[in-house]
Structure 1
Amino acid sequence: MNTTSTLPALFVSHGSPMIALEPGAAGAFLRRLGPAIDATFGRPRAIVAISAHTAARSHVLLAGARHQAIYDFGGFDPRLSTLRYDAPGHPALAADVATRLQAAGIDVHRVDRGGLDHGIWTALRYVYPEADVPVLPLAFDPARSPAEQFALGAALAPLRDDGVLVLGTGSITHNLRRVFASGLRAPMEQPEIPESAAFRDWFVANSRAHDWDALFDYRRRAPHAVDMHPTDEHLLPWFVAAGAGGRDATPHRLHTSVTFGSLGMDAYAFGAEAGRLDDALVASARSTMAT
């Protein structure tokens, strides 16, 4: 269990619910992610999860003592509804997070209920398959701007010094009209469309350049932004995680892949510690290939 090391903040792309049955390259990366975190920093004592699929008009902490997987989707393979992810909650951490957010002038409510939307459990079932790390979902307000989401993350940043993993989950590109133009059973492996590649390249370049003004204004400045994100709830958790990492540290793209030709599965780490995690994952990938 982590007691001393500061953790990086993370953003992972969960894509569609089918990642739970068809892990692909992103699932293979997520399987390496948990062991790399544990080996480099120690096991997180808890995870504060901000997901594209847990949203509200104001911030809400799901402070239940236990969580189960929520099947918040329809039309997909029925086997998905047989998968479980029963994880402990963390009511005491909810009280701490609420105090921190209120001190930063951010409105927040607590409810004594549990539940993990598919953006959380489909990722965590690969990262921590034993479901033994407590999870505290934080519903965010998708009507707020990227800069406001960044400020939310900044208020969560001190948690990283206390062994808490701040995890945003969404998708780096997310246009379901394009993704499922050929139906819900379309093949995952398709050539990436140029619009998706251009957007993802712009995003990583501006991240490395610390051009936060451009990133906050991505819908106007990034190529094909509205095409890749007709609505931006799947990208906004990226800004929360980035805010938890801070303005000065260089974001590290830990993983890059695409499913269905346009559903970007990129993952990022934020904070001064991001490079250490990146190095650990590179070493893990090399070790896997060697065997």
Structure 2
Amino acid sequence: MDKATASPLPALFVSHGSPMLALEPGTTGPFLQRLGRGIDRRFGRPRAIVAVSPHTAARAPVVLGSAIHHAVHDFGGFPEALYRLQYSPPGAPELAQRVRGLLAGGGIESTASEDAGLDHGIWSVLRFAWPEADIPVLPIALAPGQPPAAQWALGAALAPLLHEGVLVLGSGSVTHNLGLIFGAAQPAADAAEITESRAFREWVAGRVAAGDRDALLDYRARAPHAALMHPSDEHWLPFYIAAGAGGLDAPGLPGAPDMPDMPGVSGVRLHDAITYGCLGMDAYAFGDAAAALGEALAGVA
């Protein structure tokens, strides 16, 4: 699985929003369909996907090397049709060993598990992008107690996989405050975006375009309305894993002297969308291949 390829893949961060994405795709479902087709056409079908979602979590990274996976319906109170949906791709037990070796090489401790199953943050996305469920998937449990810099370092350790035909996918939400959705007056799915959400999403887009790693890592202090858009970090942390894998960088990272100095590489926002007026559905690509993917998607129907 560690054979190098001529054209590296980008690393991806996608927003999965509500579990209802699977039944009510809005503009994000069609985007994810184009994303899968665009990657296949531009880079070739990925050999495997390493996926991280906030809905599979542990105190430290856990590599789930089952031989086969299934859709886990890790939610309640939704329509029965949602629980009937399935997604059962092969797992990647051999890749699990490679991933653990890369993490160890980056000074990151991990454990292995043969547990099977993909949480909805993973399967709801992949079901649109690669509905055939024929690409092996290797989930890594997110460690939500670890700060953005640690997530970035984990992504950086996985960067060699992009040159081996393995896609690194972080699934979360660019904004995520369910209290704004399930309050006394629940907004409609197509409600106009609130000012605070737009300000946060555009700040992220600007910092990504500038390759400003320092600001992104310090988002709690620097991003507008950070606490409102993310009362807790878990749905935002997969962004840093994708950015780290893709090499988005800027000189001078306070507090993490052991992180490698990499040349500046700007990420690309591939999808700009909102649902319920405050739940951002943006998607980003990172790495040398990010711009090429953006160009490829422009030509994919």
Q: State TM-score, norm by structure 2.
A: 0.92
Cα displacement string for residues 98-133 of structure 1 (whole angstroms, at most 9, x for unaligned residues): 111111110100011110000000000000001000
Amino acid at match of 2:151: Q
Please state how far the C-alpha of 1:4 moved relative to its aligned partner.
Answer: 3.9
**Contact map agreement 1:4 1:163 (CA 8 A) in 2:** no
Q: Which of these residues, 67, 82, 85, is aligned with residue 80 of structure 1? A: 82
Point out where structure 2 has 5 or more consecutive residues left out of the alignment.
250-263
Please state how far the C-alpha of 1:77 moved relative to its aligned partner.
Answer: 1.8
Structure 2 matches for 1:154-193, cutoff 5 A? 154-181=156-183, 187-193=188-194
Partner Cα distance (1:149, 1:224) in 2: 22
Q: Which of these residues, 281, 286, 289, is aligned with residue 265 of structure 1? A: 281
Match of 1:64 in 2: 66
Match of 2:233 in 1: 232
Partner Cα distance (1:183, 1:8) in 2: 40
Report SS of the residue matched to 1:268: strand
Partner Cα distance (1:164, 1:4) in 2: 13
Q: Which of these residues, 41, 49, 52, is aligned with residue 50 of structure 1? A: 52
Number of aligned positions between the proteins = 284
Aligned CA RMSD, in angstroms, stands at: 1.4
Cα displacement string for residues 66-104 of structure 1 (whole angstroms, at most 9, x for unaligned residues): 000001111122211000001100000001101111111
Point out where structure 1 has 5 or more consecutive residues left out of the alignment.
none
Please state how far the C-alpha of 1:226 moved relative to its aligned partner.
Answer: 0.5
Is 1:104 the counterpart of 2:112? The answer is no
Q: Which of these residues, 14, 34, 37, is aligned with residue 35 of structure 1? A: 37
Partner Cα distance (1:179, 1:149) in 2: 28
**Which structure is higher in helix share?**
1
Q: State TM-score, norm by structure 1.
A: 0.95
Structure 2 matches for 1:193-212, cutoff 5 A? 193-212=194-213
Identical positions, percent: 57
Runs of 4+ in 1 over 4 A off after TM superposition: none
Amino acid at match of 2:271: H
Please state how far the C-alpha of 1:187 moved relative to its aligned partner.
Answer: 2.9
Please state how far the C-alpha of 1:180 moved relative to its aligned partner.
Answer: 2.2
